[in-house]
Amino acid sequence: MPPLPESQNGTTHALMRIVAKKNLLAFCAKHPGAKPSRLAWHAEAARATWKTPQDIKAHYASASFVGRNRVVFNIGGNNYRLIAAIAFQIGVVHVKFVGTHAEHGRIDAATVELESGNGHPTAAYRKRLQRGARHRFGARRCGSCARHAGR
C-alpha cells in the first residue's frame, strides 16, 4: 500500500472513502460509454485528501456546489453528472446520484438520494417523504406519482 500523502507541514492526510460504489457499477452497466470516465473519477476521488471545497475546485474547476456539502461533478466530457455529499471532516464521499446530463436536469441536486437497484427510492428517501419532504417529481408522497404508483 502506498504511503499517505503528506501536507506542507509534514503531517499525513487520510484518503477519501467512496460510499455507494455498487450504484456506480450499475450505472456503468447501463451506460457502458461512461465507464472510463467514471473509473477515472473514482480513482482520483479515492486518492484525494479534500479538506475544504476549495480543494475540490482546485482539481475540478467545473464542479458546482449546491449546498449541504453536495458537489456536482461533470464527468465524461460533460455527458454525465455525479452528485456527491462530502463529509470533509471524516473523509467520506457519498455518491447521491449518477446519471446523464438529461437525467440531471430532472432532479434537485440538493436533495436527491440514490435509488435502490429495483428503481424505487431507498428506505431513507421514503422516510423523508413520509415526514413531508417533496418528491423530486413534485408529488407530496411517493405513490402519488405515476412512477411509484402502487407502492
Place of cell 480513482: 43
Q: What is the pLDDT of residue 108?
A: 84
**31 part of a folded domain:** yes
Q: Above 80 in pLDDT, residue 90?
A: yes
- Residue of 45, 125, 134, 121 whose CA lies nearest to 82: 45
Residues 64 and 137 placed together within one structural domain of the fold: no
120 and 107 within one domain: no
Same domain for 59 and 28: yes
Q: Which range marks the domain in which residue 132 is found?
A: 116-151
Alpha carbon distance 55, 15 (integer Å):
13
Determine the average pLDDT of the residues in 35-42. Answer: 90
Residues above pLDDT 70, as percent of the chain:
66
Please answer whether residues 88 and 51 qualify as being in contact, where contact means their C-beta atoms are separated by less than 8 angstroms: yes
For the chain, what is the domain count?
2
Is residue 63 pLDDT above 90, yes or no? Answer: yes
Are 125 and 149 contained in the same domain?
yes
Q: 23 to each of 41, 55, 94, how far by Cα in Å?
A: 14, 25, 11
Q: Are residues 40 and 89 in the same domain?
A: yes
Mind listing the pLDDT tens digit for each residue in 105-130?
888 888 887 655 444 455 565 565 56
Same domain, 142 and 74: no
